[in-house]
Amino acid sequence: MTAGVPDQGVPDPDPTLMVQDDDRLDWQRMHPVTPALKGWKLLLGLLVVAWAQLDNVQEGLRHVHGRGWLVVLGGLVVILLVGFAYSTIAWRVTRFAVSAEAVHLRTGVLFRQQRQARLDRLQAVDVVQPLLARLVGLSELKLEVAGGAESAVSLAFLRESDAEDLRIRLLALAAGRRATPVPTGGAAADGVTTAPTARDDARIPLDGAFAQVPGPAAPVGGPRPAAAPEQLVYEVPMGRLLPATLLSGAMIWLVVGVAVAIVLLALSREIGSIFVVAPAVLGTVGAVWGRINQGAGFRAALSADGIRLHHGLTEARTQTVPPGRVQAIRVTQPFLWRKADWWRVQINVAGYAGTQDAEHDTVLHPVASREEAMTAIWLVLPDLGVEDPRAVLDAAFSGMDGDGGFTTAPRSARWVDPVGWRRRGVLVTGRALLARSGRVWRQVDVVPHERTQSLGLAQGPLQRRLGLASFVVHSTPGPVSPEVAHLDALTAAALMDEQAHRARTARAGAGPEQWSKPFPEASR
């Protein structure tokens, strides 16, 4: 059973695929070093194939003598040259252009393709610097737009300064600010005149006080657009990230995997027995390293352009999520983090759904104190719609039963959830719906009313017999999938009707997609 709510402005899947022939645009190429940075992947692929076929490769090399080595080396050189030549041709035919409405990208050697990222659907703008690109001062600009898994547009690679300038320009255009051309030789050649945004007067809790969020920059007359100033909100020290990673579930599975490998080796006395658990151990090692690599240097700031996230050890990444693009928030606390009162904050952003780095891109705070977790929620939702938001969030984080005014599961729910039924609950405020669950692994989901996609009720056979139902809030794909299980069936049905009305009302009063433009009422 579902209830629909107004469309959230999310277009049909993959809106970036649009073939156009608009030669009036100013088409530009990526940086000339791009083929070298992309061509090395062929060498890496050869090494991976060689490792996978190591026995066959070793057997083949035993039959190579004398000039045969020259043939082998010559073949490798030819393969590499062909790979780099293809990368060079692909670079020459790849071009991009920026208009007031979209970013256009032409690619393809044999099959030509043109992609179009509409700026009014821009969900996030990321500046990514892989290790090799960082060494030569280049960056990749990734535009995430609402759509399917392949909706992102990547501009790789640009000079670091050009990528930053283009990021500023695109955010200004997406926000509805004016862009005044200023002659330059870089990829981003427009100066930006900024205007106040809806977030200028937002206030966030920081260090026990409230700090004023900086407004946008004044009009700039010069060769480069000026970035909106940002205010640092929080950062993650390495002294917290490392122990938190060691206490994570991935690390526990790594220890278990190593222990199993040692036991198998001791029992069988054959080294080959280790390979039974080797894939799982290597996968867990990768997950642990990914947490550390992506969380290193993590810091969040707030600006007129939205939420800015900076993080990464070997791959530096700067994310900018515009206001209102976050669809839902999830705050979790593993059992081993409870003593230190650490929390992990993740978000749903439509453009990140299905991307390769979605697990890391959707992190708003990798290891937060309780105060920082509340601040992270304020970054997305400055007004929770209650008189005492701190008390409400405390009840959501660690409360039980009816603490904080939560509507909880009835006593009959203990038959289907004997451990966590007292933690399950839902609270509707003036601005959002909060759902809490988990007695061992605590979890809190926050969904702004205007970001609700649709609502539903689910009832299994045992729930029907006990008069229970699960209330489900459908969000965009991502780590957050809000659900309040085992509510009283009548309560859940009434909640769905009321929440559908709240979502429609909130959506009708929501701001424009271009957040620097005034509301229609203000323009009349």
Provide the edge-to-edge strand list for the sheet that holds 468-474. 2-4, 454-458, 468-474, 483-488
Q: What are phi and psi of 74, to 5 degrees?
A: -65, -40
Give the long-range contacts of residues 77-85, CB within 8 A, separation 24 or more: 79/42, 79/46, 80/39, 80/42, 80/43, 83/39, 83/42, 83/43, 84/35, 84/36, 84/39, 84/42
Tell me what pLDDT residue 457 has: 96
Tell me what pLDDT residue 227 has: 62
Q: Strand ranges (DSSP E) for 299-342? A: 299-303, 306-311, 316-321, 326-333
- CA dihedral 119→120→124→129, nearest 10 degrees, is 0
10: tokens are 């999310």
Helix, strand or coil, per DSSP, at residue 431: coil
407, 469 in Cβ contact below 8 A? no
List average pLDDT for each run of 10 residues in the chain, which is 524 residues long: 50 45 79 83 66 62 66 77 83 92 90 88 90 91 77 89 92 72 38 37 39 38 60 96 89 78 76 70 82 94 90 93 90 96 94 68 95 96 94 96 95 95 96 96 97 94 96 93 95 96 90 63 40
Domain residue limits, the chain? 16-201, 238-294
Helix axes 278-295, 249-268, angle to 10 degrees: 150
Tell me what pLDDT residue 147 has: 64
Tell me what pLDDT residue 172 has: 86
Tell me what pLDDT residue 515 has: 63
518: tokens are 């005034």
Question: Which of the 8 DSSP states describes residue 419?
Answer: T
521: tokens are 């009422």
Tell me what pLDDT residue 517 has: 63
195, 516 in Cβ contact below 8 A? yes
432, 381 in Cβ contact below 8 A? yes
State if pTM tops 0.75.
yes
